[in-house]
Amino acid sequence: MRYTITLALASLLPLPVLAEVPHVVTDIPPVHALVAQVMGDLGQPVLLLSKGADEHDFALRPSQMGDIADAGLVVWIGPELTPWLDRALQGSNATQLALLDAAGTQTRPYAPGEDDEHEEGEAESHDHDHGPINPHAWLDPANAEVWVGLIAADLSRLDPENAATYAANAETARKRLTALDAEVATVLAPVKDKPFVTYHAAYGYFTAHYGLNPASSLALGDAAAPGAARVAALQKQIADSHIACLFPEVQHDPALLNVLTEGTGAKIGGGLDPVGSSYDAGPGTYATILKGIATTLADCLTG
Domain assignments of the chain as residue spans, ordered by start: 24-184, 191-301
> Are 82 and 68 in contact, with CB atoms under 8 Å apart?
no
Alpha helices per DSSP H over 82-162 = 83-88, 141-158
Choose among 169, 138, 137: nearest CA to 151: 169
How much is the pLDDT for 112?
A: 53
> Are 7 and 124 in contact, with CB atoms under 8 Å apart?
no
What DSSP state is assigned to residue 109? B
How much is the pLDDT for 200?
A: 83
Question: How far does CA 155 lie from the centroid of its chain?
Answer: 20
Averages of pLDDT over each 10 residues, the chain, 303 residues? 45 51 97 98 97 90 96 97 95 95 94 42 36 89 98 98 98 98 98 91 94 84 66 80 88 78 83 95 98 97 86
- Rounded CA-CA distance 57/6 in Å is 61
3-state secondary structure 31-51: HHHHHHHHHHHHCCCEECCCC
CB count in 10 Å sphere of residue 9: 9
How much is the pLDDT for 40?
A: 98
CATH architecture of residue range(s) 191-301: 3-Layer(aba) Sandwich (3.40)
Give helix then strand counts, H and E, for the chain: 10, 8
How much is the pLDDT for 171?
A: 98
Choose among 260, 285, 284: nearest CA to 274: 285
What's the one-letter identity of residue 166? Y
- Rounded CA-CA distance 163/293 in Å is 34
Q: Phi and psi (nearest 5°) for 176?
A: -65, -40
Quickly list DSSP for 170-189.
Answer: HHHHHHHHHHHHHHHHHHHG
- Rounded CA-CA distance 20/216 in Å is 48
Residue 178 contacts by C-beta under 8 Å, 6 or more apart in sequence? 145
What's the one-letter identity of residue 301? L
Query: The domain 24-184 belongs to what CATH superfamily?
Result: Nitrogenase molybdenum iron protein domain (3.40.50.1980)
CB count in 10 Å sphere of residue 227: 14
Per the document, the length of the chain is: 303
